[in-house]
Structure 1
C-alpha cells in the first residue's frame, strides 16, 4: 500500500510502498479515506514530540474511513461501516489497523473530511474549556493562535458556551476567519500589544494558549484575579517559565491539557465530550473549518502549509 512514511528524523518523509498491515486480535483494519494533519506531526518528524514512535513510522493521528476487515475473534464495527479513529499515527496510508474499541461510528451528518478534522481540534478545545477551565457564560476568553487548528475551535466553542471571545492571531486575513467563527474582539499579534489590548477589554478570565512564548507572557500579565490559563501547546517553539509568585498575588490557576493523555487514564472524559460535540454538529451548531484538502501524493505540501502558517483551521489529506 502507499503510505507517507518517516524513515529518518533528518530527511523529509515521503510516499512509499509498504506492506499492508494485518489486523491482530482486538483490531480492525480501516480503508482510510481522509486524514487530518496536526502540529504534533511536525514535531514527530524531528523526533521531539512526547509520543514519537520508533522509526520507521507513518504519520497521521486522526482518520476517517470504512472498516475493511476484523482481526481474529474480534467484535467491532461491521465491515463496511464508516468510522472515525484517533490512532496517534498511521493515518497517511491506504489502510491502518487500530483497536476496535477506539473506533467511533461516523455520524450521518459528517463527511470523511469533516470527521478526520474533528476529534483533536474540537476534543481539545471542549475538554479544555468545559472540563478543565469550567468556562462560564459572560467570562472573557482569550484565545491565542485563534486561526489555527485548535484555536479556531476554541473560538467557536467559547462563543457557543456564552463567553466574550477575544481572538488573537497574526494578520487581518486570519482574524477575519476567527471573526466568522464568532469572535467578539480581534487582536493582531503582529502589530498590537496583546497585554494592553486585553486589559483594555477588562482582562482575561480564561486564556487558551497553543502558542506559548512571548504571547503567553503577555496574556499572563493581562489576567484578571482568579483567571485560569490553559497551556495547550507551544507552536512558537518557546516553552514559557511561569513565575509562581505572580500566581499567588492574583490567585491564578495554570492547568495543562494534553487531550490524548485522557485516552490512557480517563477515557470517559473524551467519550462524554465527543457525545456532546457530535450532538452539536448534528444540530448545526459547529462545523469544522478546513482551509486545504490535498491528496496523499501532496502530503509534504500539506505539511508545508502548516509549517509556514499559510493554513487556517485544519488541513486534510484524502486517500483515494
Structure 2
C-alpha cells in the first residue's frame, strides 16, 4: 500500500485542529511535521479520532500564562501506518488505534497525519479484523481505563461481586463488558439512569440501580443486594459519587479480604464547557476515605491513571472475535466541517456513547 504524502520542503503539510489557549476557538489550520521517522516513531494517516471529556478540560483550562504556543487537540485515534521506525513491530499499511494525548503539546489526534513516539503512547494496538476505524477510535482512553480499573483488584475476580457507579458513561459501559466477559465476575451491579438501563443490561449487568430515584432508594437497593449475595469485592466509581462513602464499609470487603474501591477520572458535577481547576481537586470526603484506607480502616483505595498495558489490546481482540464486546458510538461527525458540533456534544454531557470524528 502506498499513500502519496503532501511533502513540501521536506515537511508534511497536514490540517490539524489547533488552539492557543482557552479563549481561542479550535480551528483547522495547516501545520508542518517531519517527513522522516526516528527508530521509535510512527507516521500515521488518521482515519478517525474520538473525543473524551479530558480533551474539553485541557482546552478550556489552557490559561494564557501557560503559554500561547499552538496545540493540537485530541488523543484517541485510528489510522494507517505510513512509516514506522526501525525498532518497532509495526510496518507500512498496518491499521492501528491508540491514545497519544499530550497535554499542552503540538501533537494530537485531530490531524490528517500524526507523527509520534510509539514508546510513549499509553494505548497502541493493531485494529482487530472486522472492526471499523470509527469503532477502533472509540476505544483507547475510555475502554483501557475500564480494563485497568478492574485490574486493580489484587486477586481473581471470577465468581466475585462487582459494583460499577456510573454505568452510563463510556468508561462504565466498557467496564461492564470486561467484568462479565473477561474477568468472569458472578454479579455485576451498576448504577445508571433509566435511559441507560437497557444498554447496561444488554452488555452484561445483572442488576440495575436507578440513581435518579434518590439517595435512599439507591442505598436500599445496594444493601439489599449485599444481604442476599454478600459483600462486593470491588467498586469502580466512574462518576466520583462521593455519597457512596457513607455506606462503602457496609457493602465492600475490607483490605484483608482484597476489597478495593477504584476511582477513575471524571465527575458528574464537572462543567466541561467552563471547567474550574478546583473541580479537579479531590473532595474532603475523598481525602478522608483515602487517608483512612492507607491505615487499613477501609478497603484499598486506588485512583486510576491510564498507563501502558499491552495485555489490554489482546483482551479486546479476543472478546471482539468472540462477539462478546460491543463498542457504543453516539454520533459520528466529519472532522473538518463538524468538529465544533462534536466537541459541543461531548461538553454537554448528553452523549450516550463515544463521539467520533472521521477524516
What TM-score comes out, normalization by structure 1 length? 0.85
- Give the equivalent residue in structure 1 for 2:17: 4
Deviations 1:137-187 (A, max 9, x none): 333321122111111111111122223112112x32122221221111112
CA-CA distance at 1:17 after TM superposition: 2.9
Provide the rounded CA distance (Å) in 2 between the counterparts of 1:219 and 1:291: 33
Q: What are the ranges of 5 or more consecutive residues in structure 2 without an aligned counterpart? A: 1-13, 103-107, 271-278
> Which residue does 1:292 correspond to in 2?
331
Residue in 2 aligned with 1:124?
145
Distance of 2:37 and 2:178 partners within structure 1 = 38
Distance (Å, rounded) in 2 between the aligned partners of 1:243 and 1:253: 13
For 1:44-83, list aligned pairs within 5 A: 44-47=58-61, 55-70=69-84, 77-83=90-96
Match of 1:163 among 186, 200, 203: 186
Secondary structure at the residue paired with 2:151? helix
Counterpart mapping for 1:120-199 below 5 A: 120-132=141-153, 134=155, 136-160=157-181, 161-169=184-192, 171-193=193-215, 194-199=218-223
TM-score by length of structure 2 reads: 0.76
- Distance (whole Å) between structure 2 residues aligned to residue 55 and residue 217 of structure 1: 42
Cα contact 1:212–1:234 (8 A) shared by 2: yes
CA distance in 1, matches of 2:253, 2:89: 49
Question: 281, 289, 300: which one pairs with 2:320?
Answer: 281
8 Å Cα contact 1:6/1:57 also seen in 2: yes
Would you say 1:212 and 2:237 are equivalent positions?
A: no
Provide Cα deviations, 1:215-248, integer angstroms capped at 9, x if missing partner.
Answer: 4535635533323100111323453324358646
1:99 aligns with 2:96: no
Which has the higher mean CA deviation after the structures are superposed, 202-211 or 283-292? 202-211
Shift of 1:97: 0.6
Alignment partner, residue 267 of structure 1: none
Q: CA deviation at 1:14?
A: 2.5
Q: Number of paired residues?
A: 307
- Do the aligned partners of 2:37 and 2:43 also contact (CA within 8 Å) in 1? no
TM-aligned CA deviation for residue 55 of structure 1: 3.7
**Shift of residue 91, structure 1, vs aligned partner:** 0.6
Match of 2:251 in 1: 223
Q: Cα RMSD (Å) of the superposition? A: 2.8
Moved over 6 A (4+): none
Match of 1:42 in 2: 56
In 2, distance between residues paired with 1:168 and 1:118?
22
Aligned to 2:46: 32
Which residue of the partner structure matches residue 252 of structure 1? 299
* Inter-CA distance 217–64: structure 2 relative to 1 (3 Å threshold): same
Give the unaligned 5+ runs of structure 1.
264-269
Partners of 1:222 and 1:60 lie apart in 2 by 40
The reply to whether residue 243 of structure 1 matches residue 288 of structure 2 is yes
Q: Give the CA deviation at 1:3.
A: 1.8
Alignment-derived partner of residue 357 in structure 2: 317
Pair 23,47 (structure 1): closer, same or farther in 2 beyond 3 Å: farther
Residue 189 of structure 1: CA displacement? 2.2
